[in-house]
Structure 1
Amino acid sequence: MKYDYDPVPTKSFITSGTKTEIVIQPVTNFEKNDGSSLGKRHGQMFIYSILLFLTLSMSVNISICIVAMTDPTASINEDIPTYNWTDKSIILSAFFWGYMLPQIAAGWLVTKYGPKWFLVGAMTLCSLFGYLLPIMAESLGSKGVMGCRFMQGVCLSVVYPSVHALLGKWVPPNERSRMATFVYAGSPAGVVVSMFVSGYIAASWYGWPMVFYFYSTIGLMWSLTFSYFGSNGPAEHSTISNEERNYIQSGLKQGEDDGTFRTPWRKILTSIKVWALITTSFGYSWGYFTLLSEIPIYLKSVMKFDMESNSLISCLPYLLKLILAYFFSFVADKLINKKICSIGTTRKLMNGIGMVLPAIALLWLGNTGKDEVKLVIVLLIVAVGISSAGLSGFLVNHMDLSPNHSGTLMGIDNQFSLLSSALGPLSVQFLVPDEENADQWKFVFYSTSIIYVVVTIIFCVFGSGSIQPWNNAEEDRYQEKEKEDAVL
C-alpha cells in the first residue's frame, strides 16, 4: 500500500528574550491510514449535513408557508388563520437581513473559540423563535413574522462559518470535494424535503403553523445530539483513533498546536484571490436565493399551480441539485487526484458549469410563454439543478486558500453574499409589482443571468486554488520576528 503523506511533527514556538525559535518534535509510533475506511470524521460529516439540512429547511419553509398564510383555500381546515398581506417579499427577505449582520464576527468567534457550543445555542434559539412565529403572526401581523424570521436569521448566521471551520479541521485536501459536497448536499436536501413536506402539512388539517412547530422540534433534537457527539476537531475528539487523527492532520499539514493562530486581517482583506471568491459567492447567492424564495410565487401567480402542485414542482430543481452535487464532487476530486487539473483549474471549471449553463437556462426561461408549462419546469430544474457544480467550485475554495482560517473567510464571504441573498428577493418587490405579469418576471431572469456570467469571468481571471502564505499566522509571525531581529 502506498501513501502520499508523511507524519507531521508538532511545532512549538519558544520565545526567549528577543529570539523566537521553532522547536520541531518528531512524531513517533506513527500509524498510517489511506483514508479508505470509515472513521469518526465521517460521523461528524453526517451531523454537519443534517445541520445544513435543517438550516435550509428553516430558511425556505416560509416560501411555501407565505402562500398558505395568505390563501384561505390552502388548507382543508377553515379555522387555520390567513392574512391579507401585501409585503410578502419583505417577509421573505427578513430572514436574510438577520442572517447577514453577524457574519464576520461569527466567523472570527468560531475560529477563535471553536464552533460547537455556538452551534448548539444557535439552533436551540432558532427553534424557539420557530415555535413563537405563529403566535406573533396572530398578534402582530406581518411585522411579528418579520421579527421572528429576522431573529432566526441572526441565530443561524453562525452555521456556515462554523461548518467551514470544522471542515478545515476534519477534511484532508484529497477528500475535500467529496466530503464538503456530502455536507453541503444537506442544503438542497433540506430544500427538497422542506418544499414538499411544508406544502403537504400546510394543505392538511393542521395548516401552516404546524410547519414551524415540526422543524423547531427537529432543531431541538439536533442540538441535543450535537452537544453529545460533536467535536471542534480531531485533536479534541475523545474516541478517535490515533491512526485517523494522524491521517487527517498529516493531510492538512497541521500539528497539535492548531487553533492558536492569530487572524491576518490585513492580508486577508487585501488579497485579490479572496475578493474574487467573495464576488463569485455574491453573484451565486443572488441567483440561488432569488429563485429559492420566488419560484413558489411565480408558479402560483403566473403558472396557476395549486398548493400541493406548487410545493412538488418547487422541490424538483433541488432534487436534481442534490443528485448532481455528488456527481460533480466525484468528478472534481478525480480531476485533482489524477492530476488532470490543478485545484484552481478544477474550481474554475466547476464554477463555469454551475453558473454559465444556468444563466443560459434563465435567459431561455425569460422568453418562454406561460402556456409552455413543461418547458418552464424543465428550465427551472436545469437553472437550479446544474448550479450544484458550484459546491465543488467556489464553495470549497475557502479551504483551498486557507484551511486554518476557512471559518473566518466564510464569515467575511457570507457577510457580502448574504447581502445579495436579501437584495435578490427584495428586488423582485420592485421588478415585479404585478405578480401575475409574466413579462415583468423576465427582468428577474435576465438580471440573474447577467450576474452569473460576470462573476464567473471574475473568478476565472483572479481566483486561485493554492494555499496562501498567510494561512499559517504563527509561522508568519515568526518570520516577521526574524526580520526584526535581523534589523536589530
Structure 2
Amino acid sequence: GFIWLPLWLWLVADSPQTHRTISENERNYICEKLGLVASDKKKKTFSLSSLPWMKFIKSKPIIALLITECCNLFGLFFVYTNVGKILTEIHRVPPQYAGYILAGGFILMPISSLSAGVIADFLSKTNKMSLTNIRKLFNSLTSFIPAICMVILCFCDHTRQIFGIITVIILLIASALAYGSGYIVNFGDVIPAYSSIIFGIITAIATFTALFANVIAGVVIKRPVLEDWRKIFILFSIVYFIGGLAYIVLGSAVPRKWATLKSQEEQKVNDTISEEETVLMRELELGKK
C-alpha cells in the first residue's frame, strides 16, 4: 500500500490532457482516438442525475457485465479464501507444502493476465477476430475453465493428490484471464464515457454479492470431507457457468453511441448552440418591443 499509493498519485490523472508523465505524441494519439481536444485541460464535471440511467439498465452488454462479474467474484472470493483448505483437508497436503503450491499458483496469475492481454492485442491488430469475439473468448476461459476445475475437484480426494494439485493451480491461473482481456477491460469498450462510474457501481454490487460465498460455504461444509465439499464445488461450477453463458449471449465490445466521449462533446456543443439561440431570440423579442 505504501508503494502503490504514491505511484497511483503520480501516474493517474483525470484525463490524458492533464496527465503529467506521458509524452505529447502519446497525449495527441489518445485524444485523437477518443475524439478529444489535446489542448483542452478544463476539468470535466458531471452529476449523477445527468447520467442516462435508463439506457444503462436497458443495455444488454451492461447486464452481461453485471451478471458475469457477480458470478466471477462470487467464485473468486470462495477460491481465494478456501483454496488452502482444499489442499490440506481434501488432498491432505502438509500445510508447509500447500503454501509453496499456492505461491506458485498466485505467481503465475499475473503472468496469465499479462499474456492474455498480449495475445488479445495480437488478435485485434491482425484482425484475426473481432474485439467482441476476443472479449467473449477470454471471458469464456475465465468462466468455464474454473467451472470445469470445480467439477474435476468433485472427484479428487487424497488418493489423487497430484491431479488435485494441478487442477487447483490451473483454477488460479484461469481466474486471472479476466483482468487481461475479459470482462474487466470490457467496460471501456462498451461505455467509454461512463466506464469508470459503471465499473465502480457494478464492482460494488458484485463484491457485496460475493461476500455471501463464504457464508454459504460455511453453512454447507460441516465436515472436512469430500462429500461436503462436493456440494460446494457443484454449486460454484454452476455459478461460473451462468456467468460465462450470460456474457456469450449478451456481451459485446461495440461502443454504445450514447456512451462515447464524442457524443458527450457533441451534446455539449448542441447545448451551447441552443443556449445561444435562446438568448438571441430573447434579444430580438426585446428589440421588437
TM-score, L = length of structure 1? 0.50
Report the CA distance shift for 1:346/1:295 in structure 2 as closer, same or farther (over 3 A).
Answer: same
- CA-CA distance at 1:294 after TM superposition: 0.7
Change (3 A) 1:368 1:247: same
Question: What residue is the counterpart of 2:266 in the other structure?
Answer: 475
- How far apart in 1 are the matches of 2:6 and 2:138? 36
Does 2:153 match 1:368? no
Contact 1:370 1:438 in 2 (8 A): no
State the alpha-carbon separation in 2 of the partners of residues 280 and 246 from structure 1.
34
Corresponding residue SS for 1:368: coil
- 8 Å contact from structure 2 (residues 90, 157) kept in 1: no
Matched residue, 1:423: 212
- How far the C-alpha of 1:430 sits from its partner, in A, is 0.8
Matches within 5 A, 1:402-441: 402-434=191-223, 436-441=224-229
Instruction: Work out the CA distance in 2 between the residues paired with 1:229 and 1:358.
Output: 34
State the Cα distance separating 1:408 from its structure 2 match: 0.6
Secondary structure of the structure 2 residue equivalent to 1:403 = coil
1:310 and 2:98 are equivalent in the alignment: yes
**Corresponding residue of 1:286:** 74
1:230, CA displacement in angstroms?
4.4
| Closer/same/farther in 2, CA of residues 246 and 390 from structure 1, 3 Å limit | same
**Per chain length, whose mean CA-contact separation is higher, i.e. which structure has more relative contact order (CA < 8 Å, sep 6+)?**
2
- Is residue 37 of structure 2 the alignment partner of residue 250 of structure 1? no
The verdict on how the C-alpha distance between 1:449 and 1:479 changes in structure 2, with shifts beyond 3 A counting, is farther
Instruction: Assess if the C-alpha contact under 8 Å between 1:470 and 1:476 holds in 2.
Output: no
Instruction: Please give the alpha-carbon distance, in whole angstroms, between the structure 1 residues aligned to 2:7 and 2:135.
Output: 34
CA distance in 1, matches of 2:57, 2:272: 22
| Count of aligned positions | 267
Partner of 1:401: 190
Alignment-mate amino acid for residue 399 of structure 1 = G
Residue 288 of structure 1 aligns to a residue in which SS? helix
Instruction: Give the Cα separation in 2 of the matches to 1:451 and 1:402.
Output: 26
- How far did 1:228 drift? 4.7
Structure 1 residues 364 and 222 mapped into 2: Cα distance closer, same or farther (>3 Å)?
A: closer
The amino acid that maps onto 1:264 is: P
Q: Which amino acid is 2:72 matched to? A: Y
CA deviations 1:187-229 (Å, max 9, x no partner) are: xxxxxxxxxxxxxxxxxxxxxxxxxxxxxxxx23443454455
**Residue 186 of structure 1 aligns with which residue?**
none
Q: CA deviation at 1:405?
A: 1.3
Q: CA–CA distance in 1 between the matches of 2:55 and 2:270?
A: 15
The amino acid across from 2:215 in the alignment is L
User: Any stretches of 5+ residues in structure 2 without a counterpart?
Assistant: 278-289
Per the alignment, residue 301 of structure 1 pairs with 89
Report the alpha carbon displacement of residue 385 of structure 1 after superposing the two structures with TM: 1.1
From 12, 16, 36, give the equivalent of 1:234: 16
* Distance (Å, rounded) in 1 between the aligned partners of 2:182 and 2:5: 30
Give the 3-state SS of the residue equivalent to 2:17 in structure 1.
coil
Kept after mapping to 2: 8 A contact 1:328/1:389? yes
Aligned ranges 1:33-432 → 2 under 5 Å = 219-228=1-10, 230-255=12-37, 256=40, 259-260=44-45, 262-391=50-179, 392-432=181-221
Change (3 A) 1:483 1:464: farther
User: Are the aligned partners of 1:400 and 1:467 in contact in 2 as well (CA < 8 Å)?
Assistant: yes
Amino acid at match of 2:44: G
| 1:480 positional shift | 8.2
Alpha-carbon distance between aligned partners in 2 of 1:483 and 1:239, rounded to the nearest angstrom: 38
For 1:450-465, list aligned pairs within 5 A: 450-465=238-253
SS in 1 for 2:158: coil
Distance 1:338 1:266 in 2: 36
Q: 1:224 and 1:400, CA in 2 relative to 1: closer, same or farther beyond 3 A? A: closer
Distance 1:239 1:440, change over 3 A: closer
Bigger helix fraction: 2
* Percent identity (aligned): 24
Call closer, same or farther: CA 1:375–1:483 in 2, change over 3 Å.
Answer: farther
Structure 2 contact 112–177 (Cα < 8 Å) conserved: yes
Partner of 1:72 in structure 2? none
Deviation per CA, 1:338-397: give whole Å up to 9, x if none: 122211111111112222122112101111122211011011111221233322021111
Structure 1 partner of 2:287: none
